[in-house]
Amino acid sequence: MAKQAKNLQFKVLVERDEDGIYVASVPELPGCYTQGKTLDEVRKRIKKVIELVLESDKDIRKEKLTSPRSPISFLGIEDLTIRSYA
């Protein structure tokens, strides 16, 4: 009997560092991160990294497939200003 494919959904955090390089990470998958020179490149790479993490860690994949929803939810981004006297 063939296995049925399921869609898994992940929150991906994408940032741009001081050198203009995009860095993507998946908070709910430890060690799941990558970088790229463009958004398109980092998106393609993070998909591959997610697949590799799920393939290498069967416990994470089983938990993700059986849990009804992700324990991590995105709330937003805020700018915070702190006065420094240094």
Question: Tokens 């399921």 sit at which residue?
Answer: 6
Task: List the CATH code of the domain at 13-66.
Answer: 3.30.160.250
Residue 28 pLDDT level (bands cut at 50, 70, 90): confident
The per-residue pLDDT for 1 is 65
pLDDT digits 0-9 by tens, 39-71? 999 999 999 999 999 888 777 666 666 665 566
pTM of the model: 0.72
3-state SS, residue 12: coil
Phi-psi sector, 54: left (phi>0), alpha (psi -120 to 50), beta: alpha
**Token pair for residue 76?**
């937003």
Q: Domain extents for the chain?
A: 13-66
